[in-house]
Every structure is written in C-alpha cells, then in structure tokens.
A and B are shown apart, each in its own frame.
Chain A
C-alpha cells in the first residue's frame, strides 16, 4: 500500500519529466554519446548566463564537462586565438583586426536611461544627456522639466553597462560628474526609485522587470525609440550590444553542438532570467 502511494506520483513524475525532455531533444537527437571537455573564457557579463546554459547542457550530456572562466572580452578573444580556450565570450562586436574569428550571437543586452516615475520629462536628446552627465546641466528645468535638482547616478568603472553608455554618447569616464556611483543594476534602480530628481542608466531587461513589479521608475525613449526588450530584440533600440560566443575557424564538434544549444529556444528562459534579450540567428 505504502509502495503504491509513493510509486504513483513517482511514475507520473517520470512520465511527465520524460515528455518534457523528449520533445526538444528529439530534434537534436543524433548526439546522445557526446563527451569531452569545453573551455570557455571571456566577458564577465556573459559568463553567468553561459554557466547556467552549461549546467543544463551537462545534464543532457552527462559525459561533457563545460568549464566557464571570466577575464573580460579581450581575454576571451585572445584565448580563442592562441587555442587556450575552445570558445571565447565577448560582449561587443569584433574589432577590425579580429575579423579572422567567427561570432555566434546568443543574446542582446540593451541599456536604457531611467528617471523617477514622477518626473514628467518625455524624452532627452543625446546632447542633453551628455550635458547632464558632464555636470553642465544641474536642474531639470534646464532640459524642459520641473524645477528640481538633477542627481546623476553613474556606474562604477569597469561595469559593462557603463562601457556601452560611454561609447554610445562618446564620453570619457573622468569627465563625468556623478552624484552617486552604484554597483549593479538593482542598486541603480533602487537609487533612482528613491530620488525624485535622479537619472541613471541600467540594463533594460532588469528595469522592465522592476517596473512590472511596481518600482517607481520610468524608462526614457532614446532617439525616438521606446526602450523595451522587444525593440532591443529586433535591433531598433540604439544603445545595445551583442553578447557573442567567439570561435576560431574550425571549432570541434562538441563546441559546435554547444553553440547551437546556446542559440536554441531551449535556453531562452535562461537568457530572459538573466535580463538579456534572446536572439534567433
């Protein structure tokens, strides 16, 4: 009696569990005996996502070990070139002297400007944003808003979103006059949510999730494009960057399988959970 009581749900679990796994794996079926070791190095922005994907990949292929290490996009590219790593991770497009490598986009990260939700300002031009971050405009009334002091929220040097922001507005980090320097996206969002006159920039995926949860912030459109993950995904939002896997000319079979898996719909939930936007190649 007891056995049946335990077995019943267990069998049910097995059946449903199998059903869930069966559907996608039947598409990529001819690789049940994948084995070996993969080395990935590079961007610390992509690493958490790839680590999650790798865990799932290892569950599917128990004989495979995927080793993910960070060190920045530059290290990822250098390691692939000299063969230390099988796959590199680069959170930017390839430079001109790196065209010998092949990129495999797995996601996009968009960076949006945020203000407090009570701030009525409809949009800021690039010049106005540059002026605010250089400390030339210190009051919202100077850029068409209410009479309110501007609190400039900036990221700590080395953050990925900071690099995208600086590059898009062609700013040098030492020229920025910040009032608050924050660490990660959540820290930035909480700071803006707690300060009526604040302006900041964060990953759009994170901001969208927080706005849905009722956090009092607003994403400003940029160059007349609404800052949404949808617009990041279709490429129309300008302040964004690709999250790429990078390989040399002829990656091995295992590396190819892993890249295909990273780009498949099976891992889109992981991409979204890391606040990035999935891309379909």
Chain B
C-alpha cells in the first residue's frame, strides 16, 4: 500500500517536472520567433523611418549604392517563381500520391514513398548545383544562359514536390475506409472513387500541404540564387532572368552598410510577413477542412 502510494506520488511529481520542461521549451521556441521578429524590426526601423515604405514601390530602380531602392521587381520575382513552382508541383504531387496510395503494388508503393522522402531531404544547394550545371545549359538552348524564371520555377517545383506529395498521401490515407467501401458498393471503379470521394474528402489536408510547400518556395534562397539569373528587372517572358527577395539578401548582405543594410532587413520583414500570411491561411484551412 505504501509502495503504491509512493509510486503514484512520484509519478505525479514526474508529471509535474515534465509539464514544466514542456512549458519552458515551448516558451523558448516562441521567444526565439518573437526575438527574430523584434531583431528584424529593430534593424529595419531606420529604413522604415528615414526612407519610408512608399519609396520601396515608387523609386525608379534598385541601385542601393545610388540610393534607388525599388523592391517591386524582386517582390515580383519571389511571387512569380513561387506561383510557377506550385503550379508545376501540385498536379505532379497529386498524381504521384494517388498512384502511390491507390494504384501502385504495395511493395513498390512503400519504396516509392521512401524515395520521395529521401528527395525531401536533399539539401537545396544540391538542387541548385544540378540546376546550374545541367538544367540551365539545357534550357539555354532556347537562347541565353538558361538562368531564368523558367529554370528557377522548375528547380523550385522539384524541391517542393515531396511536401505536396507526402501531405497528400497522408491526408488521403486518413479518409475513412467506410467512404471507400460505400463507393465500391455503389459499383464505382477505382478512378471514380478517387475523383469523387477521396479527393473531396482529403481536400483540406491537400490544401494545407500546398500552402506549406508555398511557404517553403517563398523562403528558398540558394538554389534560386544559382539558377534565376538575378538581374533586377520585372520579367516579360519565362526566359527572362529574375531576382527574388531572398536571393537579393544573400547577394548583398555581405557588403551592405547603413541604409542599404537596413532595407535588406526590411525586405526580410516583408518575407516573414508573406510566409506568416501563408501559414495563417493554412491554419484556418486546417481547422475547417470541409468548408473551404
């Protein structure tokens, strides 16, 4: 009896300790994000106060050493490369997930899934190097160097493909089996079951996966820097070079001083805002998967 009560009391003491450890770690992680945000805000403050947000959109060009600070071409670069990558990766990722879950033989599906998981782990600089040395010269046959919007979209899409596919896989696996059986009982073939039952039921999870992939594409730096051409102009065709906000920070932070440096931090703040918006939308979707 004594043994029992001591044991339970020590259990609860352990629970208490665990609870505090968990609390402390969660406060710490939240604090890190908050501190990064405050740091960005502090570093960006001189630019926001002295130069003003409006000049980021109205200056004639981006020549920081000549005090011209137009961020629009780079904002366009980020938005276009991200959209392009999502447009390419979404159908590929969906098709691969559908094949993997509903059509592939079981043994093959397992290995295929592992292969895609491996792909998710490839460092981005490796994708960039491949894009720079192999893909860009190939696309360069269409003219120019091949370092352009199209190449950046393709490389980015390969990088976010695993995210789209793996989240789609797991949300399709979470569709209640009764629904599938119901479909089969109605005499639907497998494709109809997938199209009319699984996809609508898993829509919320798939959407979240696409949004996560979008956030990753927005933040990607090295691979895009290596294949996008990095000329600060609004592109007029897929074969024009672009510079993204992240590539701009990576290219210029090394030597930037005073106002220029501060503007780079402001563009970092802009990126963080962009990713936060995407994450927020993902969160809303996750909470009400069937309404959107």
Residues of A within 8 A of B (CB): 44, 71-72, 149, 151, 153, 156-159, 173-174, 178-183, 187, 190-191, 194-195, 198
The answer to whether A156 touches B144, judged by C-beta atoms less than 8 angstroms apart, is: no
Using C-beta atoms within 8 Å of the partner chain, give the interface range for chain B.
20 to 34
Which residue of chain B has the shortest Cβ distance to A192 in the bound complex? B145
The answer to whether A194 touches B241, judged by C-beta atoms less than 8 angstroms apart, is: no
Q: Is B290 an interface residue (CB 8 A)?
A: no
Identify B63's interface contact among A173, A181, A182, A190, CB under 8 A.
Answer: A173
Identify B143's interface contact among A149, A173, A194, CB under 8 A.
Answer: A149
The answer to whether A151 touches B145, judged by C-beta atoms less than 8 angstroms apart, is: yes
The answer to whether A183 touches B140, judged by C-beta atoms less than 8 angstroms apart, is: no
The answer to whether A178 touches B146, judged by C-beta atoms less than 8 angstroms apart, is: no
Identify B252's interface contact among A153, A156, A173, CB under 8 A.
Answer: A156
Identify A180's interface contact among B64, B145, B251, B254, CB under 8 A.
Answer: B145
Residues of B within 8 A of A (CB): 61, 63-66, 132-133, 136-137, 140, 143-147, 225-226, 229-232, 241, 243, 250-252, 254-257
Given contacts A72-B257, A158-B255, A178-B231, contact A183 B250 (CB under 8 A): yes
Pairs A-B, 10 closest by C-beta atoms: A158-B255, A194-B137, A181-B230, A156-B251, A195-B145, A151-B145, A180-B229, A180-B145, A180-B147, A174-B63
The answer to whether B133 touches A190, judged by C-beta atoms less than 8 angstroms apart, is: yes
A238 CB to closest chain B CB (Å) equals 25
Given contacts A151-B145, A180-B230, contact A195 B140 (CB under 8 A): yes
B58 CB to closest chain A CB (Å) equals 18
> A151-B144, A180-B229, A183-B225 given. 19 additional CB < 8 A pairs?
A71-B257, A149-B144, A151-B145, A153-B145, A157-B252, A174-B66, A179-B144, A180-B230, A181-B229, A183-B251, A187-B132, A187-B226, A191-B132, A191-B136, A194-B140, A195-B136, A195-B144, A195-B146, A198-B145
Q: Which residues of A contact B146 (CB under 8 A)?
A: 194-195
Q: Which of A72, A149, A158, A195 has the most CB of B within 10 A?
A: A158
Which residue of chain A has the shortest Cβ distance to B136 in the bound complex? A194
